[in-house]
C-alpha cells in the first residue's frame, strides 16, 4: 500500500498509465500523483493543455494523453517530482524514460548508468541520451534514459558512477 | 522609545508577507528578526513548494525568501532590523528587544507576532547524546552552512519535514539508513516519500526507536515494531548503525510573547500545542495583537505566507490605512487559505482551527 | 565535513579564521555559527550536563533549545549554534551550569 510503503501499487499505476496503443505512438507523461494535496503547477506548466484545469487546488491531475506531446516541462515543474515521460517509440528495442534528477554528479551523455526501480533496486542498465534543463527549473535536470522496453514502466531513478545517492 | 504603527516580530514567510501587505497600505512598519538573515526557515528549504502560482508553487523555499526580501526592501516605510531579539511584552503595550548589543524599547499601535515554531523532542534512552539532532537543525547545518551532520542518518518521523530532510541529506551526499515512523502510515506527502524510496531508503512504518547508543556521541540505534495499539513488540528489535539520529516528530509554536501579552490560549494538539484564539482577521483576544504563521498553529509555509498577508492587511486597516482593492485582497487570501486547507491533507488543520475561533 | 558541491545550493563562506577549542587550534569560516565550525572539524560534544555529566551536542541549531551552551571567551552559556565565529575565539566545553561573571 502506497501510504505504508511510499511505493505506488500496480493498481494505482494502472490508473495513470495510457493505453498500449497510446504508449506505442510516442512520448507521453505518466503522472504518479495519487494523493490529494494542494498543488497545481503541472496544470499551469503544460503548454499543450493536456492536463485538465483544476476546479479545486486539491484535485488529482488528469492527463488527456491525446494532447500530451511528452515534452517533459511538467517533469521539472512538479514540486513532488512525481511526473515521468515514457517513449516506447524511441527505437526497435529500447524505450526512453525521462526522469527528474536532482543529484550530483549529473551524468554525461552516453554514460551507462544503473537504472533503479521505485524502491531503489537496480532493475538493469540504462544509457543517458540527453540531459534537459528547462528555463527557470535548471536545478531540476531531466535525464533522458534509454532502457530495454520491458523496463520502461519500472525504471524511475538512476545511480551514477556505481554509487548510490545514499553514499 | 521607538514608535511605529505596526511592529512585526519574526521575518519568516508570515512576517515578511505581513510587512509587505501592511506597508503597501501605507502603514509604518518595524520588522524585527533575531537572526541575521531574513526568511526564517525558508532559507534552508531547497525543495520546491506546492500550492498555487500566487503562492510561488514550483519555486524553492530559498528563492521565495529572496523574492519576499526584495519586495520588503522596496518599501521606505519598512524599518527592517535583523539581529533584533525581542525579549518581552509589557503591560503598557511596550516590547523590548536586544539589537546588536543595544537595548530597545518599542511601542507600536499594532503587533503582528510571527515567531514561528520549534522542534519537538522524543523521549527514548540516550536521546541526549550528541548526534541526536532535530531534523530542522540538520537541515540548517547542511543547507545554510554547508556542513554535513555525519555519514549515516536515521530519520525518526515521516511527516513532511522527515521526508524532505531525508531527501536533502541524500542530495548532500549523506546516507539515510531509514525512516522510522510510529504510525501505521506515512505522515507527509506521498510524493516526497516516493522520491526517497526510489533512492533506496526504507521507511519503517509502525516502528519506533527503542534506544540510541554510543559513547560520547551516537553510534547507532535499536528500533522495534509497534502493534495496532502502539505497543512495542519484543523480538522485533533491529539494530541500525548511524552517527546521526534526526528527530522529525513535529513542531510546537513559539508562543512566549502571546502568553506574556495575556492572549487567551488553548491546547490544540492538531496545531502543535498551545495556540491563541483568533478572529477572522487573525487578531488575538488582546486588541491590537495579531498572529500569523506557525506561532498560531503549525502548518505549511504556504499557509504562513497567506496568514501574514491577512494579518498585515487587517492590522493596517484597523489603523485607518486603506488600499483600493482591500476587500478583494482580503477575500483572495481567505479563499486561498481555505483552498490549502480544504483537501484531505488539511483535515487535521481544519479540525484544530475550529477550536479557536473567537 | 563540509559540502563542496551541491545540486541546488552554492555556499558563500566568510574568510578563513583560526579559533581555539579547549586550547586546540581549529579552522573555520568567519561569520558561521561556532557550532557549525566545530561540527565541520568533527567536534560534537559541546558541554556536559550539570547533574549527570552527560555529553551534550546541539539540538535545534536555531537558538531555541539551549542544548549547545559553551564557554566562549570566558563567557558561559553562549548558544554556539547562533553565535558567530570570529578570529581567535576561545571556545571551551562547558561543564555544569557555568559561573556567573561578577564584574569588579
In three-state form (DSSP H/G/I as H, E/B as E, the rest C), the secondary structure along chain B is CEEEEEEEECCCHHHHHHHHHHHHCCCCEEEEECCCCCCHHHHHCCCECCECHHHCCCCEHHHHHHHHHHHHHCCCCEEEEECEEEEEECCCCEEEEEECCEEEEEEEEEEEECCCEEECCCCCCCCCCCCEEEHHHHHHHHHHCCECCCCEEEEECCCHHHHHHHHHHHHCCCEEEEEEECCCCCCCCHHHHHHHHCCCCCEEECEEEEEEECCCCCCEEEEEEECCCCCECCCCCEEEECCEEEECCCEEECCHHHHHCCCCEEEEHHHCEEEECECCCCECCCCCEEECCHHHCCCCHHHHHHHHHHHHHHHHHHCCCCCCCHHHHHHHHHHHHHHHHHCHHHHHHHHHHHCCEC
Question: What is the predicted pLDDT for the residue at C104?
Answer: 66
Touching C (3+ Cβ pairs <8 A), the chains are A, B
Q: In chain A, what are the helix, strand and coil shares in percent, each to the nearest 5?
A: 20, 30, 50
Q: Taking residues B321-331, report their average pLDDT.
A: 97
Nearest-by-CA chain C residue for A101? C7
Nearest-by-CA chain C residue for A104? C7
Nearest-by-CA chain B residue for A164? B199
pLDDT of B136-164, one tens digit each? 999 999 999 999 999 999 999 999 999 99
Q: Does A113 touch chain B (CB under 8 A)?
A: no
Whether C5 maps to a domain, the answer reads no
Whether C101 maps to a domain, the answer reads no
Question: What is the predicted pLDDT for the residue at B63?
Answer: 97
Q: Does A157 touch chain B (CB under 8 A)?
A: yes
Place of cell 516590547: B95
Asked whether the predicted pLDDT for residue A164 surpasses 90, the reply is no
Q: Taking residues A56-81, report their average pLDDT.
A: 97
**Chain C residue numbers touching A104 (CB-CB < 8 A):** 5-7
Q: Does B40 touch chain C (CB under 8 A)?
A: no
Q: What is the CA radius of gyration of chain A?
A: 15
Backbone phi and psi for residue B292, each to the nearest 5 degrees, phi listed first: -160, 140
pLDDT of B1-38, one tens digit each? 999 999 999 999 999 999 999 999 999 999 999 999 99
Find which of A81, A102, A104 to mutate to test the C interface (most C CBs within 10 Å of its CB). A104
Asked whether the predicted pLDDT for residue B176 surpasses 60, the reply is yes
Predicted TM-score (pTM) of the model is: 0.97
Nearest-by-CA chain A residue for B206? A4
Backbone phi and psi for residue B315, each to the nearest 5 degrees, phi listed first: -65, -45
Interface of C with B (CB under 8 A): 1-3, 6-9, 11, 13, 32-33, 35-36, 39-40, 44-46, 49, 54-65, 81-82, 84
Q: Is B279 left (phi over 0), alpha (psi -120 to 50) or beta?
A: beta
Q: How far apart are the first and last CA of chain A?
A: 28
Domain that holds residue C89: 16-93
Are the beta carbons of B203 and A81 separated by less than 8 Å? Answer: no
b/e burial code for range B344-353 (CB count within 10 A of at least 16 → b): ebbebbeebb
Are the beta carbons of A103 and C7 separated by less than 8 Å? Answer: yes
CB pairs under 8 A between A and B: 143
Find which of C3, C4, C5, C7 to mutate to test the A interface (most A CBs within 10 Å of its CB). C7
Are the beta carbons of B175 and A79 separated by less than 8 Å? Answer: no
pLDDT of A95-107, one tens digit each? 999 999 999 999 9
**Chain A residue numbers touching C7 (CB-CB < 8 A):** 102-104, 106, 139
Among the partner residues C36, C54, C84, nearest to B141 by beta-carbon distance: C36
Backbone phi and psi for residue C58, each to the nearest 5 degrees, phi listed first: -85, 165
Q: Does B138 touch chain C (CB under 8 A)?
A: yes
Q: What is the CA radius of gyration of chain B?
A: 21
Distance CA A26, CA A142 (A): 18
Question: What is the predicted pLDDT for the residue at B53?
Answer: 86
Among the partner residues B129, B141, B171, nearest to C55 by beta-carbon distance: B129
Q: Taking residues C65-75, report their average pLDDT.
A: 96
**Chain C residue numbers touching B41 (CB-CB < 8 A):** 62
Cβ pair C58, C46 in contact under 8 A:
yes
Whether C10 maps to a domain, the answer reads no
Q: How far apart are the first and last CA of chain C?
A: 43
User: B331 exposed, middle or buried (CB, 10 Å; 0-12, 13-18, 19+)?
Assistant: exposed
pLDDT band at B357 (very low <50, low <70, confident <90, very high): confident
Number of domains within chain C: 1
Distance CA B262, CA B268 (A): 18
**Chain A residue numbers touching C6 (CB-CB < 8 A):** 104
Q: What is the CA radius of gyration of chain C?
A: 14
Whether C84 maps to a domain, the answer reads yes
For residue B312, give the nearest of B3, B70, B5 by alpha carbon: B5
Nearest-by-CA chain B residue for A165? B170
Asked whether the predicted pLDDT for residue C101 surpasses 80, the reply is no
Whether C4 maps to a domain, the answer reads no
**Chain B residue numbers touching C40 (CB-CB < 8 A):** 147
Element (H, E) at A31: strand A28-31
Q: Number of helices and strands (H, E) in chain C?
A: 1, 8
**Shortest Cα–Cα distance, B201 to chain C (Å):** 19
Sign of the C-alpha dihedral computed for residues B122, B127, B132 and B133 taken in this order:
positive
Place of cell 527503542: B210
Are the beta carbons of C6 and A102 separated by less than 8 Å? Answer: no
Whether C85 maps to a domain, the answer reads yes
Whether C11 maps to a domain, the answer reads no
Q: Kindly state the greatest CA–CA separation across chain C.
A: 54
Cβ pair B52, B333 in contact under 8 A:
no
**Shortest Cα–Cα distance, C61 to chain B (Å):** 5
Element (H, E) at A83: strand A83-87
Q: Helix (H, G, I), strand (E, B), or coil: what is residue A16?
A: helix
Question: What is the predicted pLDDT for the residue at A162?
Answer: 53
Q: What is the mean pLDDT of chain B?
A: 97
Are the beta carbons of C8 and A102 separated by less than 8 Å? Answer: yes
% of chain B beyond a pLDDT of 90 = 98
pLDDT of C4-59, one tens digit each? 999 999 999 999 999 999 999 999 999 999 999 999 999 999 999 999 999 999 99
Distance CA B232, CA B240 (A): 17
pLDDT band at A165 (very low <50, low <70, confident <90, very high): very low
Among the partner residues B50, B190, B201, nearest to A39 by beta-carbon distance: B50
Whether C75 maps to a domain, the answer reads yes
Distance CA A37, CA B50 (A): 8
In three-state form (DSSP H/G/I as H, E/B as E, the rest C), the secondary structure along B217-285 is CCCEEEEEEECCCCCECCCCCEEEECCEEEECCCEEECCHHHHHCCCCEEEEHHHCEEEECECCCCECC
**Chain A residue numbers touching B340 (CB-CB < 8 A):** 38, 57
Cβ pair B190, B142 in contact under 8 A:
no
Cβ pair B178, B169 in contact under 8 A:
no
Are the beta carbons of B50 and A4 separated by less than 8 Å? Answer: no
CATH code for the domain in which residue C43 is found: 3.10.20.440
For residue B12, give the nearest of B37, B30, B46 by alpha carbon: B37
**Shortest Cα–Cα distance, C6 to chain A (Å):** 7
Amino acid at each position: 500500500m502506497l501510504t505504508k510503503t511510499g511505493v505506488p501499487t500496480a493498481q494505482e499505476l494502472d490508473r495513470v498509465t495510457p493505453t498500449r496503443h497510446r504508449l506505442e505512438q510516442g512520448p507521453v507523461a505518466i503522472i504518479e500523483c495519487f494523493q490529494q494535496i494542494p498543488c497545481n503547477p503541472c496544470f499551469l506548466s503544460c503548454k499543450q493543455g493536456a492536463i485538465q484545469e483544476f476546479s479545486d487546488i486539491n484535485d488529482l491531475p488528469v492527463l488527456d494523453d491525446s494532447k500530451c506531446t511528452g515534452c517533459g516541462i511538467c517533469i521539472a515543474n512538479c514540486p513532488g517530482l512525481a511526473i515521468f515521460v515514457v517513449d516506447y517509440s524511441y527505437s526497435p528495442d529500447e524505450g526512453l524514460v525521462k526522469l527528474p534528477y536532482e543529484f550530483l554528479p549529473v551524468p554525461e551523455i552516453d554514460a551507462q548508468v544503473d537504472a533503479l526501480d521505485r524502491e531503489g533496486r537496480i532493475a538493469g542498465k540504462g544509457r543517458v541520451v540527453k540531459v534537459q534543463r528547462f528555463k527557470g527549473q535548471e536545478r531540476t535536470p531531466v535525464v533522458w534514459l534509454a532502457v530495454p522496453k520491458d523496463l520502461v514502466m519500472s525504471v524511475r531513478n538512476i545511480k551514477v558512477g556505481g554509487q548510490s545517492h545514499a553514499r | 522609545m521607538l514608535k511605529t504603527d505596526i511592529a512585526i516580530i519574526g521575518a519568516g514567510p508570515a512576517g515578511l508577507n505581513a510587512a509587505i501587505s501592511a506597508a503597501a497600505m501605507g502603514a509604518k512598519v518595524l520588522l524585527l528578526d533575531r537572526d541575521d538573515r531574513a526568511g526564517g526557515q525558508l532559507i534552508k528549504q531547497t525543495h520546491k513548494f506546492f500550492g498555487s502560482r500566487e503562492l510561488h508553487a514550483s519555486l524553492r523555499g530559498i528563492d521565495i525568501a529572496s523574492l519576499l526580501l526584495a519586495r520588503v526592501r522596496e518599501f521606505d516605510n519598512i524599518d527592517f532590523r535583523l539581529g533584533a531579539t525581542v525579549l518581552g511584552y509589557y503591560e503598557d503595550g511596550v516590547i523590548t528587544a536586544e539589537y546588536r548589543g543595544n537595548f530597545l524599547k518599542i511601542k507600536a499601535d499594532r503587533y503582528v507576532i510571527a515567531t514561528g515554531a520549534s522542534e519537538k523532542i522524543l523521549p527514548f534512552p540516550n536521546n541526549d547524546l550528541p548526534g541526536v539532532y532535530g531534523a530542522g537543525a540538520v537541515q540548517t547545518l547542511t543547507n545554510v552552512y554547508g556542513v554535513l551532520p555525519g555519514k549515516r542518518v536515521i530519520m525518526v518521523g515521516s511527516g513532511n519535514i522527515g521526508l524532505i530532510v531525508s531527501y536533502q541529506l541524500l542530495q548532500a551526499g549523506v546516507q539515510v539508513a531509514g525512516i522510522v515512523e510510529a504510525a501505521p502510515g506515512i505522515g507527509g506527502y506521498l510524493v516526497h516519500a516516493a522520491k526517497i524510496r526510489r533512492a533506496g531508503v526504507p521507511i519503517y512504518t509502525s516502528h519506533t526507536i527503542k534506544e540510541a547508543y554510543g559513547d560520547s556521541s551516537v553510534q547507532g540505534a535499536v528500533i522495534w515494531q509497534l502493534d495496532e495499539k502502539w505497543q512495542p513488540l519484543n523480538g522485533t528489535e533491529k539494530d541500525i548503525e548511524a552517527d546521526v539520529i534526526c528527530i522529525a516528530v513535529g513542531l510546537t509554536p513559539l508562543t512566549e510573547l502571546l502568553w506574556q501579552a495575556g492572549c487567551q490560549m488553548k491546547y490544540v494538539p492538531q496545531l502543535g500545542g498551545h495556540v491563541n484564539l483568533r478572529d477572522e482577521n487573525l487578531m488575538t483576544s488582546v486588541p491590537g495583537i495579531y498572529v500569523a504563521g506557525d506561532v498560531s498553529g503549525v502548518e505549511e509555509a504556504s499557509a504562513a505566507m497567506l496568514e501574514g498577508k491577512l494579518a498585515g492587511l487587517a492590522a493596517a486597516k484597523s489603523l485607518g490605512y486603506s488600499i483600493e482593492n482591500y476587500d478583494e485582497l482580503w477575500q483572495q487570501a481567505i479563499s486561498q487559505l481555505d483552498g490549502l486547507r480544504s483537501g484531505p491533507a488539511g483535515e487535521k488543520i481544519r479540525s484544530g482551527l475550529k477550536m479557536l475561533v473567537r | 565535513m563540509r559540502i563542496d558541491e551541491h545540486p541546488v545550493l552554492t555556499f558563500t563562506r566568510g574568510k578563513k579564521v583560526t579559533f581555539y577549542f579547549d586550547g586546540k587550534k581549529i579552522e573555520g569560516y568567519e561569520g558561521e555559527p561556532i557550532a557549525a565550525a566545530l561540527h565541520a572539524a568533527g567536534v560534537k560534544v559541546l558541554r556536559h550536563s550539570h547533574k549527570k555529566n552527560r555529553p551534550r551536542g546541539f539540538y535545534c541549531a536555531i537558538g531555541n533549545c539551549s542544548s549547545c551552551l559553551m564557554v566562549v571567551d570566558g563567557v558561559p552559556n553562549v548558544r554556539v549554534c547562533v553565535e558567530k565565529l570570529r578570529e581567535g575565539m576561545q571556545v571551551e566545553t562547558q561543564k555544569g551550569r557555568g559561573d556567573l561573571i561578577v564584574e569588579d
